[in-house]
Chain A
Amino acid sequence: MILLQTLRFNTKLGRDNTNKTLSNLPHQQNHISLALTNQYYAKLTQKTMGNILSASFAEECTPAKQKYDDCFNHWYSEKFLKGKSMENECEDLWVEYQQCVEVHLIKKGIKPMLDEARSDAPFEKGGVPLAESESKK
């Protein structure tokens, strides 16, 4: 309990320092540069939270996952949301990350549960359970 409070206090302290410094910059209204935000935000969270919370369900996959995530976040903000691209521009990083994921889904015994869930609520149906989508027809 005390640890958690210490953590929260120091996180708040860190955030207050960030807010104080950033609020000295002139206030601007429009949203731009989500990509730049991602860059700083990713740096901040990697440094701070990366040690406490592991990013991937399998720690061996975390480096590949973070590289892919960086690429995806940039593509999402700068290309997808702006209607500039619908292609997977992070293909190589994705493949490397997925190869690791596949191996560990099996190693950790998650694959059978996942397969069953996928047949109950397919990806192609947006995750709507089949039973539900049938009764709505």
Chain B
Amino acid sequence: MKLFSSEHQFAYPWEQVTAANWLKYPNEVSTHVIGVDVLRREVDPSSGILTTERLLTCEQAIPGWLRHLVGGASRSYVREISLVDPKQKTLTMRSCNLTMCNLLRVHETCIYSPATDGSSTTFTQTAEITAYASWKKICDKIEDWSVERFGQNAIKGRTGFEGVLQLFSKIQEGGKLIDEVAGKGGKLIDEVTDKTSIVLSEVTDKTSSVLSEVTENVKRSIFKP
């Protein structure tokens, strides 16, 4: 069994981080995560904890030697259970791979909680990686590869999430302006509100048209025979 662990701080308040958590995918860095689905979701009336079960769909190439062991699939699934405790202010996420389970198990635990300064959020991530194969040498090889792959994906996840949080935060600042200004009433205020909305819409459209263009180029290249 091999262990992975890391710590990071996001410069955003806990509430914002947990809200953005549901929007973490898709992001431009974690391109291996191609689908996220909610399977079950409940709030415990006594504790107030929101528990969510999710299915993550991943598409990521694996090395040839491993492909021979698992039969060639590059599509994998991960089951994740998350608990949001709004009173204790913790978000705990536990996940394990569904595919390749007989050969390799990766148990991951992530915890988000407010940092002592109150305006940022600490993120701790640990993983227990265990391979099950007849020979120790193969086990070691699988575990070593898995730790490396996990580490790479963890960096992508953090970087991608930072991007998400940054954009989320910038849009929020603009949204606050709209809210405050609209609250004062008056024709002049309405005009300003509209203009800001237009600006944000234009920005949204401009950004999305740039990226749509790129999307088309990417698609064309991917589907070229």
B-binding residues in A (CB < 8 A)? 3-4, 6-8, 10-11, 13-15, 17-19, 21-23, 25-28, 30-34, 36-38, 40-45, 47-49, 51-57, 61, 65, 68-69, 72-73, 76-77, 80-81, 83, 86-88, 94, 97, 101, 110, 113-114, 116-118, 120-121, 123, 126-129
Contact = CB atoms under 8 A, between A and B. Distances in A.
Contacts of B156: none
A25 B199 CA distance: 10
A35 B212 CA distance: 25
A106 to B, nearest CB: 13
B84 to A, nearest CB: 8
B83 A126 contact: yes
Contacts of B176: 28, 30-33
B181 to A, nearest CB: 10
Nearest to A120: B96
B214 A6 contact: yes
B200 A117 contact: no
B91 to A, nearest CB: 11
Interface residues of B, number: 80
Closest 4 CB pairs of A and B: A127-B81, A47-B208, A53-B26, A48-B211
B180 to A, nearest CB: 8
Interface string B34-56: 11111111110100101101010
Given A6-B217, A123-B42, 5 more contacts: A14-B207, A25-B177, A36-B171, A47-B211, A57-B57
Interface stretch (B1-9, B10-18, B62-70, B134-142): B10-18
13 contacts: A14-B207, A15-B207, A21-B202, A26-B177, A28-B176, A33-B176, A34-B15, A44-B167, A51-B212, A53-B31, A76-B22, A117-B96, A128-B94
